[in-house]
Structure 1
Amino acid sequence: MTLQNRVQPDGAILAHPARGAFMGNRGILHDDQQRLGAARWRNRTWVCCVLDFKGRQRPVMAPGRYTELFFHDEAVALAAGHRPCAECRRADYERFRDAWATAFGSRPAATEMDATLHAARAQPGGRRLRRHEADAEVLPDGTFVDAGNGPGLLWDGALWPFGPDGYRAARPRLAGGITCLTPPPTVRAMAAGYRPQVRLDRVA
């Protein structure tokens, strides 16, 4: 059975068979039959983790355990509101904190970043994440935007349309005002030097 645990850049969580490059969680979102309920988060700590860490193994969506969520790559995870995990991705977490400090003027604790990100991404009582308007020409690489017919990634001077199974062929980068999917604090961290891991190997 294909479980509903594949996160998209706009925050939607789909049942899709493609394997992601990263995993994350937001608390327990499923029931004892491995079905997602109405909630899309149970806490403010939304992390992005590696798939393999110290040989740890666990059944996916086990009763009473946090819901394992999967992302095509790190850019998708960041767009959906997650940040690097401080345990299994310590070096990336510190790079993210360094970029955050450059952008905001102080080096934050994880709880500070989580509170700031949650205020920027979550709409109380809803399943959708917040959106914001921005100038496409100043957005950094790694940012996801609304490309008109779905999400698109800004990367290396181009726009890469995205679907549940990966990226499509690149198109010219957009200009002017645009709807941005990646939360503003994360956009600022990327503009300050954090470069997410992007997997373009499955371009269709």
Structure 2
Amino acid sequence: MARQNRVTPTGDFIATEARGDFMGNRGILHDASGRLGRARWRHRAWVCCVLSYKEGRRALMAPGQYTELFFLDEAVALAAGHRPCARCRPDDFRRFLAAAGGVKCAGDLDAALHRARAIPRVRQQRRQTAQSGALPDGAFILHPLDRIPCLLMGDAALPYAPDGYGPPRPRPQGRVTVLTPQPSLTALHSGYRPALHRTAGV
């Protein structure tokens, strides 16, 4: 039975058998029985990790251990408010930190991301609007026609699904709802390139 630990670009937690390319961590979100609670926004260091690291294989959602989260790819993790892990992805973290602009350390970055991704006391994803043509590749939007999360790549908008991206649509024109928080948009504008799922065609 699939666990409810896959994170979507809208910040929702879903249960799916589809595999993701990255793991994430934002603290202990589950109880002793493995059920998710409401404490999904308390921890401020939301990281995006490789699937395998030095500690080897972990028991998923072990009592008292951090909740293993999973993402289709890094662009989804950025849209959900996570950033590269400094421990298991130190080179990516340093590149992201340098590209994010105006932050000098992980703590400053996490604070800036938390302000940009969360609506205080509401436990909801903060979103903004922007001109579609001004957004960088790797950003996520809600498509204005059907509100499906889409990854922007060049002139295309790739619809998200848990098992991969669908056939490309034309990038919409005008103002759109943006899911990717501002510090990550700044990093994308400055040249940070997230690792994308093979179905993105890159």
TM-score where L is the length of structure 1: 0.93
Q: Supply the AA of the counterpart residue of 2:116.
A: A
Partner residue in 2 for 1:141: 137
Q: Supply the AA of the counterpart residue of 1:136.
A: S
The 1-side partners of 2:200 and 2:31 are apart by 32
Is the aligned partner of 1:122 residue 2:80?
A: no
1:104-119 alignment, distance < 5 Å: 104=102, 107-119=103-115
Partner residue in 2 for 1:37: 37
Is the contact made by 1:136 and 1:178 (CA closer than 8 Å) also made in structure 2? yes
Describe the SS at the equivalent of 1:20. coil
Partner residue in 2 for 1:195: 193
1:85-124, CA deviations, whole angstroms, 9 ceiling, x for partnerless residues? 00100111111012123xx3xx510000000000010122
TM-fit CA distance, 1:175: 1.5
The 1-side partners of 2:187 and 2:84 are apart by 12
TM-fit CA distance, 1:184: 1.0
Indicate the larger mover: 43-52 or 144-153.
144-153
Partner residue in 2 for 1:23: 23
Partner residue in 2 for 1:67: 67
* Gap change, CA 1:70 and 1:137, over 3 Å in 2: same
Q: Supply the AA of the counterpart residue of 1:49.
A: C
Is the aligned partner of 1:180 residue 2:178?
A: yes
1:10-55, CA deviations, whole angstroms, 9 ceiling, x for partnerless residues? 0000011111100011111111111111222331000000001125
Where does structure 2 lack aligned partners over 5 or more consecutive residues? none
Where does structure 1 lack aligned partners over 5 or more consecutive residues? none
Is the aligned partner of 1:166 residue 2:164?
A: yes
TM-fit CA distance, 1:202: 7.5
Partner residue in 2 for 1:95: 95
Describe the SS at the equivalent of 1:185. helix
2:151 pairs with 150, 153, 177, which one? 153
Describe the SS at the equivalent of 1:4. coil
The 2-side partners of 1:131 and 1:117 are apart by 12
Report runs of 4+ in structure 1 exceeding 4 Å deviation: none
Number of positions where the alignment pairs a residue of Structure 1 with one of Structure 2? 199
Q: Supply the AA of the counterpart residue of 1:132.
A: Q
The 1-side partners of 2:113 and 2:28 are apart by 19
The 1-side partners of 2:115 and 2:80 are apart by 13
